[in-house]
Chains A and B, each alone.
Chain A
Amino acid sequence: MTQQNSSSRLQSQIDRNLKRAYDDVLNEDVPDRFHELLARLRNSDGSGEPARGAEEPRADE
């Protein structure tokens, strides 16, 4: 009986820690580099050359 309690306590501890490990990152502010990347990808689309801009820093950076 004690075994069972300790094992279900451990499982709920695992659940909490899993969620916490994931949510801690999920709730962090997303670094600017990703918003900048999406903006570059969008801009490069206009020129008809998808993804090229992803590797090339823009002149104003």
Chain B
Amino acid sequence: MSDAPETRDPRDEIVEHLGAMRAFAISLTRNGSLADDMVQDALVKAWTNMDKFQRGTNMRAWLFTILRNTFYSHYRRRRREVEDVDNVMADSLAQKPDHDGRLQMNDFNAAFDKLNEEQREALILVGAGGFSYEEAAATCGVAVGTVKSRVNRARARLAELMQLNEGEALEATDQVTRGIVASNPSAA
């Protein structure tokens, strides 16, 4: 545990969550500069409303709640106005040296972009942010069952979309296999 959480000014803790706030903001906006503008707005709101934060509760969840409220009230529309979302995401997230990993990541990002916002936030909170279903539900203001079904649907949809990409490669392999089987009937 951190030192004396009751006596510490909770505003001093905000800085520890900046990285996570940016990561969550990007998963909502899918655009680096929009995400950072949104984090800035959310920080001002959090700072000026710190008296509403209940000490001893999860500050990251509280900050994420402010972030997503900022997103749904101001940035969702702006995101739709941004044309080059895919390019920005490809640039900011694809700079890894390993070739296979990068191709996979591009496929994943393209598929992730196709999810709706509710699915994206549920999946990121639970699948990457380390939130429990209960914490994610409180952050999103919905029932636990709703978060579970959003996560499940998001996973199924991602799998479906990524399978489409893999499909071409698998089909080629199948043809080779069929060719081998056809030329060697005893193997069938």
Contact = CB atoms under 8 A, between A and B. Distances in A.
Interface in B5-33: 11, 14-15, 18-20, 22-24, 26-27
Chain A contact-residue range equals 20 to 34
A28 B26 CA distance: 13
A58 B11 CA distance: 21
B109 A51 contact: no
Contacts of B159: 7, 10-11, 14
Interface in A3-22: 7, 10-11, 13-15, 17-22
Nearest to B94: A24
B108 interface: yes
Contacts of B155: 11, 14
B55 to A, nearest CB: 18
Interface stretch (B43-51, B61-69, B133-141): B43-51
A38 B48 CA distance: 11
A23 interface: yes
B15 A18 contact: no
Contacts of B124: 18, 21-22
Interface string A8-47: 0011011101111111111110110111011001100000
Nearest to B25: A25
Interface of B: 11, 14-15, 18-20, 22-24, 26-27, 36, 39-40, 43-44, 47-48, 93, 104-105, 108-109, 112, 123-124, 127-129, 155, 158-159, 162-163, 166
